[in-house]
Amino acid sequence: MGHENITEFILLGLFTDENVKASCFVLFLLCYIAILSGNLLILLTIRGSCLSEQPMYFFISYLSLMDVCFTSTVAPKLIIDSLAQQKTISYNSCMAQMFYAHFFGATEIFILVAMAYDRYAAICRPLHYMVIMNRQVCYVLVMASAMGAFSHSIMQVLIIIGLPFCGPNQIDHYFCDVFPLLKLACTDTRLWVIAIITTTGVLSILTFVALVISYIIILSTLRTRSSEGCRKALSTCGSHITVVFMFFLPLIFTYVPTADSVRNDKVFALFYTMIVPMFNPLIYTLRNTDMKNAMRKVWGRDKLSAGK
């Protein structure tokens, strides 16, 4: 056990071309500002309106919080490194970054599962909905999501901490993640790679399949409903399904590697660390009348007219 020879790692980043780096700095900075403003707008709108009493929006507010936290573990360093000549990260910072990225990412996955359960209860068990999804249950689901994510993340960190690092210290990625680090360990890590693929990879696939099946059940139930209620529920489920696909597919491609696919991993990782958190607020607001009305109440015209 030990990393005595290695006190820091060098992140190779996304691109080597100097001209691309400056463009990336601007692009990633704008993306990060969009992610922060979009998700915080959703979070504060839900908390500041009566929407927070509805389980679905209660979960969406936590999803927005996770998006902000998840991206913040990766984006600031990525933005600064876009202009830096030497992209170093200390061993301890590297472990912390890996822990938090996995923690917030896994919490988000479990919250998406809780949201699917909520939609199932609302659409398939409407008469018992308020009993099934009372406020206590919502808090328990969020706490369980965080606890499940914590145990997953600590396991990743313990695997890496237990490995000896003595040789090259260049990580072929733009943040510290488990596969690129396993490649640097000066010991045979094939068993650990298989272990991580079977835990994280298979868990991602099973969760994704379970979510898709649950939404298929929900949508088939909707076919028997009145047109107006059906349209609203379809719109909501459509948003959720979009987020599930956008988040899970790159994740599955990353943690179920086909060959030596680090080059692709960086692109997939960029998708779920930057692109999905940026689109989530748009997906949840553009197609959602309740959310638009709440935004007007909390931020806009209604307050101005009340002031007059």
Strands 170-171 and 88-90: unpaired
Q: What 3-state class would DSSP assign to 106? A: helix
Q: Rounded distance, CA 7 to CA 165, Å?
A: 10
What would the mean pLDDT of 202-217 be, rounded to a whole number?
Answer: 85
Give dist(CA 81, CA 95) in Å, integer: 18
Angle between helices 227-255 and 202-222 (to 10 degrees): 170
Residues constituting the chain: 308
- Are 8 and 89 spatial neighbours (Cβ–Cβ below 8 Å)? yes
Identify the pLDDT of residue 179.
Answer: 86
Determine how β-strand 8-11 pairs with β-strand 170-171: parallel
Instruction: Report, in angstroms and rounded to the nearest whole number, the Rg of the chain calculated over CA atoms.
Output: 21
Chosen CATH of 8-302 out of 3.40.50.720, 3.40.50.1000, 1.20.1070.10, 1.20.140.160: 1.20.1070.10
Please give the Cα distance from 180 to 162 (Å, whole number). Answer: 15
Q: Which amino acid is it at 239?
A: S
Kindly provide the b/e burial profile for residues 168-204, where b requires at least 16 CB atoms within 10 angstroms of the residue's own CB: ebebebbbbbbbbbbebbeeebeebeeebeeebbeeb
**pLDDT tens digits, one per residue of 18-67:** 778 788 889 999 999 999 999 999 999 999 888 889 999 999 999 999 99
- Note the pTM of the prediction, 2 decimals: 0.88
Cβ atoms of residues 113 and 62 within 8 Å: no
Write the pLDDT tens digit of every residue in 146-164: 999 999 999 989 989 988 8
- CA 174 to CA 15: how far, in whole Å? 9
Of 181, 182, 185, nearest to 167 by C-alpha is: 185
Residue 241 pLDDT > 90? no
Domain segments of the chain: what residues?
8-302
pLDDT digits 0-9 by tens, 215-224: 888 888 777 7
